[in-house]
Amino acid sequence: MILHIVRGILLAGFLLYGSIHDIRTHTMPDWVWMGVAGTALLGMKLSALPSMLLGAAAVLLIEVPLAVLLKDRAIGGADIKLSAAGAFLLGWQKGLAALILGLTLSLIVVPIVRRIRHEDSRKAFALVPFLAVGIMTAHLI
């Protein structure tokens, strides 16, 4: 129980820092995704390892081809690393749910914010905050 709380606090800290950094600079330090993946090791059961590895692999299999095929309008490297780390932490089911939730949230919120701010729809946006919401939500469920 205590370990789960500690893991959640650390996870929230890593995700909050990564989100703020992405909003400000459109980058995320590598130690953020490494920290997210590292929290998976706190109290990890060896029996969960296959699901964790499958989750990270599934996310990579979805996002890497998108990044290669859609170079200018795709998910960035930091987004891919954070998603894979989140799926490693959460396992394949919750990891994919976190990815779907984060991406869906971005598809809903970003156009609304752009319309309000009168911004170009082709302008890059920070995806880490949306992925962070998906990861944290899946972790809490």
Domains of the chain: total: 1
Residue 47 has pLDDT above 90, yes or no: no
Of all residues in the chain, what percent carry a pLDDT higher than 90?
Answer: 49
Work out the pLDDT band at 3, boundaries 50, 70, 90: confident
Segment 5-29, tens digit of pLDDT: 888 999 999 999 999 999 999 889 9
Asked if residues 99 and 111 have their Cβ atoms less than 8 Å apart, the reply is: no
pLDDT at position 72 over 70:
no
Q: Show the domain range for 84.
A: 2-140
Can you give the chain as a three-state secondary structure string?
CHHHHHHHHHHHHHHHHHHHHHHHHCCCCHHHHHHHHHHCCCCCCHHHHHHHHHHHHHHHHHHHHHHHHCHHHCCCHHHHHHHHHHHHHHCHHHHHHHHHHHHHHHHHHHHHHHHHHCCCCCCCCCCHHHHHHHHHHHHHC
The pLDDT tens digits of the residues spanning 104-122 come to 999 899 889 888 888 877 7
Q: State mean pLDDT over 85-107.
A: 93
